[in-house]
Amino acid sequence: MITLENVSKTYSTGSPALNNINLKIESGEFVFIVGNSGSGKSTLIKLLLKELEPTSGKIYVNNRYINKLSRKKLPMLRRDIGVVFQDFRLLNDRNVYDNIAFAMKVVEAPQRQIRSKVLAMLSMVGLLDKYRSFPKQMSGGEQQRVALARALVNEPKILLADEPTGNLDPDNAWEIMKLLEEINNKGTTVVVVTHNLEIVKYMKKRVITIQDGNIISDEDMREDVHGGDEDED
């Protein structure tokens, strides 16, 4: 689903933000990416979206070699990827309904599908009653849920979430994580960047740790894959 081969990214100003990264994420996985501030997590997400170009190395997303993807084909790539940013990036001059509907209009979804789909997403994130509110009238947690609804409305194959719980209190953070898990259970590949190690520990997923642009560990914490040949006591 996602493959990085010897990928490096050096910004024009400095030392490598990512340094020869090799990584494979299979379809249907739930992966956390953790690491200190400045370690390269957001750079990685932006490379997958082709918001940035790698300095070297090969990137495949959805079995497409995206390095050479033309500008014309970029919408095709992004249609398959839902993204949640830490700062939400909602449109402040549109209400909640229109924020989500906009994502469908961009990909030219048929008009008759839009209404039912947007309402279904709002229901999923528990915000049906707020569909006419504007982002600025909502709490951080509510805005985050709108952003999630928007990211999922086109049924992407991959969801990338960069610090989706960064601005949330613990209750709201857990709620978002549960939603991400549900979405993953329905088949979407989920990649979550987070600083919240408590949540990471509890969720028991694959955890990739980045430090100074290098992957320093890649651990599978799922309960059902351990045991067997390992003697625990």
Ligand X SMILES: Nc1ncnc2c1ncn2[C@@H]1O[C@H](COP(=O)(O)OP(=O)(O)OP(=O)(O)O)[C@@H](O)[C@H]1O
Q: Which residues contribute to the site for ligand X (CB under 6 A)?
A: 11, 13-14, 17, 35, 37-43
* Sign of the alpha-carbon torsion through 60, 106, 87, 179: negative
Choosing among Mg ion, ligand X, none, which partner's interface includes residue 154 (Cβ < 5 to 8 Å by kind)?
A: none
Question: Residues 42, 62, 143, 209: which binds Mg ion (CB under 5 A)?
Answer: 42
Judged by beta carbon, residue 17 or residue 81, the one nearer ligand X is 17
Q: Shortest distance, CB of residue 75 to ligand X, whole angstroms? A: 23
At residue 102, what is the residue type?
Answer: F
User: From residue 166 to residue 195, what is the string marking binding to Mg ion with x (rule CB under 5 A)?
Assistant: ------------------------------
Total chain residues near Mg ion (CB under 5 A): 1
Choosing among Mg ion, ligand X, none, which partner's interface includes residue 194 (Cβ < 5 to 8 Å by kind)?
A: none
Residue with smallest beta-carbon separation from Mg ion: 42
Judged by beta carbon, residue 42 or residue 184, the one nearer Mg ion is 42
Choosing among Mg ion, ligand X, none, which partner's interface includes residue 13 (Cβ < 5 to 8 Å by kind)?
A: ligand X
Judged by beta carbon, residue 41 or residue 117, the one nearer ligand X is 41
Only one of the segments 34-42, 94-102, 170-178, 223-231 lies at the binding site for Mg ion (rule: CB under 5 A); that segment is 34-42
Q: Shortest distance, CB of residue 58 to Mg ion, whole angstroms? A: 23
Residues near Mg ion (CB under 5 A): 42
